[in-house]
Amino acid sequence: MRYPKLRELKEAITAFIKKPYTSKFPYEPHSPAKRFRGKPEYSNTGCIACTACALVCPARAIEYRDVVTRGKATRKMILHLDECHYCGQCSALCTTRDDNPPGIKHTTEFDLAGFDRAEMVSTTDEKELALCEVCGDVITAKAHLQWVAKKIGVLAFSNPTLFIASLKAMGFSEDISQAARDYMLRSDRIKVLCAKCRRKVTIEKF
């Protein structure tokens, strides 16, 4: 048992000479490591409001608020920092994690204590929602549809919801989809539709 004793002695001498690994925070500022998982923060430009982060959050710290009223259909992502346990699932599984900027990422900010829970949030701006043209249900955020259409390229033309969303993003929109409807067989398919209504017009009416 001599070896462990010598090893402990070596560690004691090294620790005595070297500086401690711990920092003196809060008496001195602390700089966390580069990959430290601190406060998760949304990016307004990177987030497409797809809600994947809310689905994978094990602490259910993320909610999304859809507001659908006459003339307004928006979604806002809200992350409650007081419920978050900084596991990193939201950023690791964010749909746009490989984009620049990604929808959500961890900052190295860690001194997050506060007195007002309502202020302890990270949010996005309100993002416009795409609604089904038949039943009015929420499909997803328009930015999400456009992201998917861009990702799959020409394949988006096999899905009217996706290609109409892309056309609208380019500023063409109503005229083109209306023109397509006027001349096409099964023009009821050339609409922005939720999954249920798409199934109805594609299968049940076939």
- CA-nearest of 160, 190, 189 to 178 is 190
Residue sitting closest to ligand SF4 (CB): 103
* Binding map of ligand SF4 across residues 6-45, x = CB under 6 A, - = no contact: ----------------------------------x-x---
For residue 96, state whether it binds ligand SF4 (rule: CB under 6 A).
yes
Joined together, the tokens standing for residue 63 give 């909610």
For residue 129, state whether it binds ligand SF4 (rule: CB under 6 A).
no
Instruction: Determine the residue type at 35.
Output: R
Query: Minimum CB separation from ligand SF4 for residue 81, in Å?
Result: 8
Residues whose CB is less than 8 angstroms from the CB of residue 178 and which lie 6 or more positions away in sequence, other chains included = none
Residue 171 to residue 195: CA distance in whole angstroms: 25
Count the neighbouring beta carbons within 10 Å of the beta carbon of residue 105.
Answer: 18
For residue 104, state whether it binds ligand SF4 (rule: CB under 6 A).
yes
| CB 135 within 8 Å of CB 201 | no
Residues whose CB is less than 8 angstroms from the CB of residue 150 and which lie 6 or more positions away in sequence, other chains included = 156, 166
Count the neighbouring beta carbons within 10 Å of the beta carbon of residue 206.
Answer: 6
Nearer to ligand SF4, 97 or 189 (CB): 97
Count the neighbouring beta carbons within 10 Å of the beta carbon of residue 144.
Answer: 23
Residue 82 to residue 86: CA distance in whole angstroms: 10
Query: Minimum CB separation from ligand SF4 for residue 140, in Å?
Result: 10
- Local structure of 48: helix, strand or coil: coil
Query: Which residue from 13, 44, 82, 86 is in contact with ligand SF4, where contact means CB under 6 A?
Result: 86
Give the binding-site size for ligand SF4 (rule: CB under 6 A): 27
* Binding map of ligand SF4 across residues 45-84, x = CB under 6 A, - = no contact: --xxxxxxx---x-x-xx--------------x-x----x
Query: Minimum CB separation from ligand SF4 for residue 62, in Å?
Result: 5
Query: Which residue from 94, 129, 130, 190 is in contact with ligand SF4, where contact means CB under 6 A?
Result: 94
Nearer to ligand SF4, 53 or 194 (CB): 53
Query: Which residue from 38, 63, 76, 87 is in contact with ligand SF4, where contact means CB under 6 A?
Result: 87
Residues whose CB is less than 8 angstroms from the CB of residue 98 and which lie 6 or more positions away in sequence, other chains included = none
Binding footprint of ligand SF4 on the chain (CB under 6 A): 40, 42, 47-53, 57, 59, 61-62, 77, 79, 84-90, 94-96, 103-104
